[in-house]
Amino acid sequence: MRAFIYTRVSLDRDGTKASPQTQEAEARQLCAQRGWEVIGVFTDRNASAFKRGVKRPEFDRMLEGLKAGEADMVVAYKLDRLTRGGMVGVADLLGRLEAAGAGLTTVHDNIDTSTPIGQGVLGIIASLARQESLNTATRVASANERAAKAGKMHQGGCRQFGYQRDGAVEENEAAVVRDVAARLLAGESLRSVANDLNKRGISTTTGGQWRSEALSQMLKSPRLVGLRVYKDKRSEE
């Protein structure tokens, strides 16, 4: 069995903390007991496993190695070295390992997919993770429905051109919308108007250039005329 060892420490200002070394030593000891060959050690310093958007280059490099079939097992000191994102974070981690055909073992936490008991523990965690994801989706859908009934502008996705995030009219963009509508009603094509907006340096709300499809979608959006639409509990405009 070929193993990758992953270690992580959240804060190590001077680079002298022994935590990653301790994690690696205990993980190596476990691998030696199992007869597993350690073929790679990946360590992220000053990297949170909880905050979204935090880059963990060694963690990503390890995942790439797993995808390439370089190892069969990931060994960590504890599960929170790999993820502290709660049940959702665990579900994401397990999904990545499963896609790579790799297993997971921790020195602590009793997680070990190479044993029947470990597989059972992992199954419970995965089940809880899926339930938490469903609960989260239900809460978000309910909140979106309440916001729609209250007439509040949808906060997700891209900002509606012509409006600020809080629903207030963005006067400069509103003037552009009125000009575009007048030109289209006069017979000008979407492509012509989009090209003109790009030449004038007027970008979309994401900072991109206008295309015919994007311009048409913007003009047809219910939000453009102040309408709040909620399709069902799973999706909304």
Q: pLDDT (tens digit, 9 = 90+) per residue, 101-127?
A: 888 998 987 788 767 777 677 667 656
pLDDT-wise least confident of 3-17, 60-74, 154-168, 169-183: 3-17
Q: What is the mean pLDDT of the chain?
A: 78
Q: How far is residue 177's CA from residue 183's CA, in Å, rounded to a whole number?
A: 10
Is 99 a residue whose pLDDT tops 80?
yes
CA distance 39 to 181: 63
- Tell whether the model's pLDDT for residue 5 goes beyond 90: yes
**Which whole number is the average pLDDT over 17-26?**
80
Extended beta strands in the chain, E state = 2-9, 37-45, 73-76, 103-106
DSSP label at 52?
T
Higher-confidence residue of 4 and 121: namely: 4
Predicted local confidence at residue 139, as pLDDT: 74
116 versus 178: the higher-pLDDT residue is 178
Name the more confident of 114 and 34. Answer: 34
Check pLDDT > 50 for residue 232.
no
d(CA 88, CA 91): 5
Per-residue pLDDT tens digits for 188-213: 999 999 999 999 999 998 888 999 99
Q: What pLDDT sits at residue 30?
A: 94
**Contact status, residue 3 vs residue 38, Cβ threshold 8 Å:** yes
pTM: 0.48
Cβ–Cβ under 8 Å, residues 149 and 233:
no
Is the pLDDT reported for residue 159 higher than 80?
Answer: yes
Please name every residue paired with 4 in a beta bridge, in sequence order, or none if there are none: 40, 74
What is the distance between the alpha carbons of residues 166 and 155, in angstroms, rounded to a whole number?
8
